[in-house]
Amino acid sequence: MTNFRKLAIFVEENYIKYINTLHNLFEDGFMEAYRTANNKKRRRVLPYLQAIHRRGYYATLVEHTPLSPANLAECIGAHFGEARDKYPVAVLRTPSKVQGVDLRVVEYTLEDHPAVADMRLLMDYCVPHIDLHENNCLTDTQALEVAEFLSINDPHYASFLLELAVWMKMLSKVPSLYVQRMQLSKKSVDILGQSDEDLLRDIIDAAVQMTAWGLGNSIPMPEHIFTESFVRSLLTHPLETDEIFARVFEVMGYDIDDLLEIGNMPVPDGMSPDHFGVDMELLSGTFVMGIVLDRFFFTPFGHFLRLIRPLYALPFAFSEEVKDYINVCEDPEEAFVAFFAPCSSYTLTDLGLEVLGIAKNKENYFDASELQFENMKDTIFVDDESLKTFVEMATFLSPLAFGGKLPRLIYTFRVRLEADNSVWMHLHVPDNFTLAELYDEITHYFELKNNDDYSFFHDKIENRFAEYPSAKRAAKSKNPKPPADDSHLHELDFEHMNHLILAAYNQNSLFAKEPPTIRLQLERLSEKPPEPGEMYPQPGRMSKNMRLKNIY
């Protein structure tokens, strides 16, 4: 055996070793959740193992970092000189006893793409004919059966390929009673007779068309927004998911911040939410839009075709997620929706760049080799326990990496002058801010005297039992209360009370007989992960009167 051959085997063995170490995080998380689940119901989730693996594979291990298994797997491959378009696929070990989750590695290239081979296998399954659901799709039983012999054993993937085949007119209807019987069309012979690369490009083109149709028909909009050009633009110029939402509403003449503001407004007594009309309908549609975007865009072009690499900003919570999946899998229709949720962002893969003919840049591509596996392989990736310890410690220590200033979430507050509700602004604040730091920001934007003489009340009224005084006032209090300096926003119970009152005392000159108290009303409107590269706190929208009064 030549030295070159020995080196090749060494590289392959080490690559698989580290990929398996990474995979074991998923296996351990899934098996622990499975073993502690309801014995009578838990087997329902087994056919959807691939869907669960997809969610875990693209979720970050440490929140708001690029350390997802998908990125780390590519980083490992780049380090050992392996093809960048190799992907781990989870396979259930001994399904009858459910003893573990094995791993196989599948390569996706332009010349040899698994979706092409899977499409040909699916067409063989349809010979001499197939009786479909009345909506020209696989029945639940068929989807599970077909998934067993595909590269990804996922019923969602089987259904996706069948929908593509129908869209590409590879199947034609056979006259029959009481069933939707289909057989291979004459056109299918020419389509399947193409080279693998040409067939893949046809599949991708059909997927773009089907995505445009699916988005347009699944999201009720008064204007046709989801065109093929829009879908192709999303592929060639990746956007943050929040930006996709914002652009969709912008085309329709809506500001998404305005819609969120409406959604967080309390409904006055005696008034129906319908009073807000189409705005509330659009707001309620954002949840549906997120699921539909994943169903028709992120998952097909990400997990099925591997043209994009999604990233979920939060870790995958195995115990809670698997438990929820088990509960919904009793109803196949609910199960089909339950596994879809929009990612936080996405970038193109090497295959995506090649297929679309695009040069990579910082906006459309994440170079996983920048994670520098050389610095991790002899420490973090020494064994399973080392990697688990790293993830646990990084999760705990990440907020401390920047002096405690790295937030989990960004809260958006609407801050109003109590004496004049037309003077207001939105303020985006890290959840690890103290109330004292929030006070400093408010004094700046509303030009108050920063005299350390104030109190917050976590209520709609000045409830002394919900008071957080400044250090100055706390020192004078006979009854100790939690001081604003030590009270972080994430510690407050915003789940049950989204309002705060800030009473700023002694706010005019020292010569005034009765120094006034200026009160501000605060309402937490939303929470979301911090935007990459953004500095917080930062101001958001503000009222016309706030600008006219030149308070900002």
Judged by average pLDDT, the poorest of 65-69, 166-170, 243-247 is 243-247
Q: pLDDT class for 331, splitting at 50, 70, 90?
A: confident
- The model's pTM: 0.69
**pLDDT at 485 > cutoff 80:** yes
| Helix, coil or strand: residue 155 | helix
Q: Measuring CA to CA, which residue among 507, 499, 510, 520 is closest to residue 439?
A: 520
Nearest-angstrom CA–CA distance, 508 and 506: 6
Rounded to a whole number of angstroms, the distance between the first and last alpha carbons of the chain is 75
**pLDDT at 2 > cutoff 50:** no
* DSSP summary character for residue 268: P
Q: What is the mean pLDDT of residues 318-330?
A: 86
**pLDDT at 334 > cutoff 80:** no
175 in Cβ contact with 200 (< 8 Å)? no
Please report the pLDDT score of residue 548 as a whole number. 67
Nearest-angstrom CA–CA distance, 91 and 384: 19
Extract the runs of DSSP E, i.e. beta strands, from 165-302.
171-173, 180-184
**pLDDT at 282 > cutoff 70:** no
pLDDT, tens digit (0-9, with 9 covering 90-100), for 193-219: 999 999 999 999 999 999 999 988 887
Amino acid (one-letter) located at 493: D
Please report the pLDDT score of residue 81 as a whole number. 87
**Cα→Cα distances 42→24, 33, 36, Å:** 21, 10, 9
Q: Which helix H or strand E contains 277, and what residues bound it?
A: none
Q: pLDDT class for 551, splitting at 50, 70, 90?
A: very low
Please report the pLDDT score of residue 514 as a whole number. 57
Nearest-angstrom CA–CA distance, 91 and 453: 62
Nearest-angstrom CA–CA distance, 98 and 20: 19
**pLDDT at 395 > cutoff 50:** yes
Is the N-terminal amide bond of 95 cis, ω within 30° of 0? no
Please report the pLDDT score of residue 1 as a whole number. 43
Q: pLDDT class for 510, splitting at 50, 70, 90?
A: very low
Q: pLDDT class for 280, splitting at 50, 70, 90?
A: very low
Q: What is the mean pLDDT of residues 255-278?
A: 51
**Structure token pair of residue 326:** 């088990």
- Identify the residue whose tokens are 């990125």: 71
Please report the pLDDT score of residue 332 as a whole number. 67
Residues 6+ apart with CB under 8 A from 372: 75
Distance of CA 291 to the CA centre of its chain: 10
Q: What is the mean pLDDT of residues 357-367?
A: 91
Q: What is the mean pLDDT of residues 122-128?
A: 95
Judged by average pLDDT, the poorest of 204-213, 259-268, 386-395, 495-504 is 259-268
* DSSP summary character for residue 501: E
